[in-house]
Amino acid sequence: MNLTHPADTWTPLVENHLRARVPDHETARSTAGAANPLCHMCLPNDIAWAVLRPDSDEMTFATGDAIVIDGGYAARCCL
């Protein structure tokens, strides 16, 4: 895999940003996640598993790939 395209991801940096600016950051988190078809923000583990799983001995014919890790966000434009 050569390239990943993750969605907005819930990280400590994002959480601290919301805590400093929004009184109820859990509401802000759920509101931000509501824009995603899976109804939550991407988590760091979502990205890690998507990147690590293809890195196996069985993955012998992929020479370069881009993977979108967005929970269906990009596909919603076609609905």
pLDDT in tens, 54-66: 666 666 676 777 8
Give the dihedral sign, CA 29/33/39/41.
negative
4 and 67 Cβ atoms separated by less than 8 Å: yes
Q: Is the pTM of this model over 0.85?
A: no
71 and 38 Cβ atoms separated by less than 8 Å: yes
Provide the residue type at 49 as one letter.
Answer: W
Could you tell me the pLDDT band of residue 21, with boundaries at 50, 70 and 90? Answer: confident
Burial of 41 (C-beta count, 10 Å sphere; 0-12/13-18/19+): buried
pLDDT at residue 5 greater than cutoff 70: yes
What's the mean per-residue pLDDT of the chain? 81
